[in-house]
Structure 1
Amino acid sequence: MAATDIYADRALKLCGELLESGFSPFFGTPCGILAPLYRQLELRASLRTIAREDNAVGVAAGAAMAGQCPAILMQNSGLGQSVNAIASLVVPYGIPILLIVSMRGVAPDSTTENIVMGRITEPLLNSSGIPTAMLDEDNTAEQVHWARNLVAEHREPAALLVPPTLFGWQP
């Protein structure tokens, strides 16, 4: 099997797990690392592209308040832009959303402008009170189940972090 097929299969599998777990609708900003997952969600789910990540947080918060189980796809640089919306809306009001955050600034991405966000993404989320799990191709089902338990059952926000290698992204 070609490497691109492996990565497409991983994206299809993750998409299926997210949908089977009841996550929907999906909001996001395009991202190279998340592109395979984005494509699968465009084909199989309610995915809305939103130009700014902080706006996606607001729209997803509205969906959550309407009883849905929304997820937001964003790059960790967009997470940086969204900190105020997350810290002043999602966290204090316990809005149950799933953040799916791609990890720029971690191997194999060594671009200078991404290194700091790569280093602080997980601690930033955790110190904000949002638990995280780094997606791994061997444990995606368990990790999505973990996220569903927090978001849908306990009505809390959670984040799944996507390393560049999961879908074969190269700088």
Structure 2
Amino acid sequence: MTTEEHAYTFLYFGLFGNMDVSDPPPFEFTVDDMHQVAQKFEITNYVKLEYLAVWGRRTSAPSGKFRIVVTRDNAGVPGSTITAVEVDAASVGGGWNWITVSCNVILQPGTYWILVYSTSTTQYRVGASGNSIVGLVSTSGDGGATWSSESARDLLYKLQGYITP
């Protein structure tokens, strides 16, 4: 291996929450441009996060984008944005499916949030567990200005990444 090549040890392919990806899931959150939902997660190593997915569907006419954001933790609520990826509303169907995005970002050990919402009035539903697995979901009804804990829920999401050398 040359000094230009990097070897990554596969580690973070995680399935978090109650992975009952049924139609419909045990619980749902509605998101749009004002209603946001976020899932807290922690990592203990440097991780190259490559893919992130949430279980969801579009529930109104398509316009704008579905946005998935990874943020830092700010005293127990979503903080500054690390990366944000948008998916065209028209490409998110009306049936339940994994909405998967490529992230390609390196995260340091710490606490982060996966934040989802719409860039328009288009509504989406994102799936959640029916009981508290970890209970790290927060919701906002004012575009992210204030947050409320949903301690009995976890989003249905998955992360895929690698420990960095």
Note whether the superposition's TM-score is higher than 0.5: no
User: Rg bigger for which structure?
Assistant: 2
TM-score normalised to structure 1 length: 0.26
**TM-score normalised to structure 2 length:** 0.27
Query: Which protein has greater RCO, CA pairs closer than 8 Å, 6+ apart?
Result: 2
More helix per residue:
1
